[in-house]
A = this chain, B = another copy of it.
Amino acid sequence: MVDQTRALWFSGTMSNDLDTVFAALADPTRRTILAMLLEDDMAVTDVAEPFEMSLAAISKHLVILTKAGLISQEKRGRVKWCKLEPDALRAASVWMQGFGQFEPVNLDAFERFLEVELPTAEE
């Protein structure tokens, strides 16, 4: 008999967070937003600009990202700034690492990889 208790605990404990984090990450628009915020904090309007959908739609996406803890929003004046909160990915990352022996990745190489491959991605 397999030790399912451990398995169930494993997936059960941090379920709430993982649900919302993974669900947030499952949408390409939201992943793109996160990637944009990697560069710098942005106002909601500026986040919305490159997308071909309404501001309201983006606003909803930002709510979802906020609830998942993946970004934070701070209102200064009438503009609301969005800031990446990469720590929110940690639990999910750890959970995933439980499955593979693939260790963390070389960030510098990854950056270089992005720079090099970039130009082909024009649309």
In the complex, A2 has a CB within 8 A of chain B: yes
Residues of A within 8 A of B (CB-CB), count: 64
B32 and A99 contact, CB distance less than 8 A: no
Q: Separation in Å of the A77 CB from the closest CB of chain B?
A: 20
A12 to chain B: which residues have CB within 8 Å? Answer: 28, 32, 121
Which residues of chain A in 30-76 are interfacial with respect to chain B, using CB atoms and an 8 Å cutoff?
31-32, 34-36, 38-40, 42, 50
Copies held by the complex? 2
Query: In the complex the two chains form, what is the Cα distance from A89 to B122 in whole Å?
Result: 27
A80-99, CB under 8 A of B: which get 1 and which 0?
00001011011011111111
Tell me which of A7, A42, A84 has the highest count of chain B C-beta atoms within 10 A of its own C-beta: A7
Most buried by B among A9, A50, A117: A9
B99 touches A110 (CB 8 A): no
Q: A32 to B114: give the CA distance in the assembly, Å.
A: 21
- With A8-B50, A12-B121 known as contacts, the answer to whether A106 contacts B110 (CB < 8 A) is yes
Given contacts A106-B103, A109-B104, contact A10 B86 (CB under 8 A): no
Which one, B3, B4, B35, B104, contacts A7 given CB within 8 A? B35
